[in-house]
Amino acid sequence: MVVTLIIACEVGFWVLLAAGLALRYLAKMPRTGAAVLLMEPVLELVLLIVTAIDLKNGASADWKHGLAALYIGYTVAYGHYTIKWVDGHFLHRFAGGPPPVKPPQYGLARARHEGMLWLRTVLWVAVAVALLQIAIWYVGDDGDIASLRDWQGTSMRILIIHGVIAVSYLVWQKKDPRPAAAAQEADRPEHKTLR
């Protein structure tokens, strides 16, 4: 039941997002669209409540409950970011808005961007680990909590791997090829003036 609800929440997220943006930009009903978009957190609240009820009714704490915690944590950390990203692309594509701002591609600006994404992952993991710990306390020592502990470990591995990736953008900064290309263009014979 929990896995079905996780899938339903994911599908619901995208359906609400599409409906909210369509109302906002295509139907020219910005307030109604915003109201639909504000319903997104209700999905995670329902998932949290159903997961708690499932555990309360004696279900064994297993991978489904851990996955639910990670899903909720991801939505808390990345949900608004995803909505904003899709909103920018939808506005540009369907409502004649400006092209969305792309993340920086080079140098320290890219490393800063990756660091900010990693901070979102810190929030994701913190929420997931906290929910998993609450579930562990809720189940108690008498229940099987090994799966929940495994998901806590998985969360920490996600955090470490993403941290290593973010640091790699700082250590090995990609150089912007445009200044070098402009310099090469200026050195071509057809661009040199005769004296």
Write the pLDDT tens digit of every residue in 81-133.
998 999 999 989 988 889 988 899 999 999 999 999 999 999 999 999 999 99
| pLDDT at residue 158, as a whole number | 96
Please give the Cα distance from 173 to 125 (Å, whole number).
Answer: 26
Task: Name the least confident of 7-16, 52-61, 127-136, 151-160.
Answer: 52-61
Give the pLDDT confidence score for residue 183 in this predicted structure. Answer: 43
| pLDDT per position as a tens digit, 21-55 | 999 888 889 899 889 988 888 888 888 888 888 87
Contacts of residue 80, Cβ cutoff 8 Å, sequence gap at least 6: none
Range 27-61 burial, b when 16+ CB lie within 10 A, else e? eeeeeebeebbeebeebbeebbebbbebbeeebeb
Q: What is the structure's pLDDT at 185?
A: 53
Q: Select the more confidently predicted residue: 36 or 60.
A: 36
Other Cβ atoms closer than 10 A to 152 = 23
157 or 46: which leads in pLDDT: 157
Token pair recorded at residue 155: 């969360």
Q: Are 9 and 46 in contact (CB under 8 A)?
A: yes
Residue type, 30: P
pLDDT at 192 exceeding the cut of 60: no
3-class SS of residue 7? helix
d(CA 13, CA 7): 10
Tell how many helices (H) and how many strands (E) occur in the chain.
7, 0
* Alpha carbons 70 and 138: distance in angstroms, whole number: 17
Rounded to whole angstroms, how far apart are CA atoms 18 and 12? 10
C-alpha pair distances (Å), 189 with each of 184, 186, 193, 194? 10, 8, 8, 10
Residue 7 reports pLDDT greater than 60: yes
The predicted model gives 53-74 an average pLDDT of 84
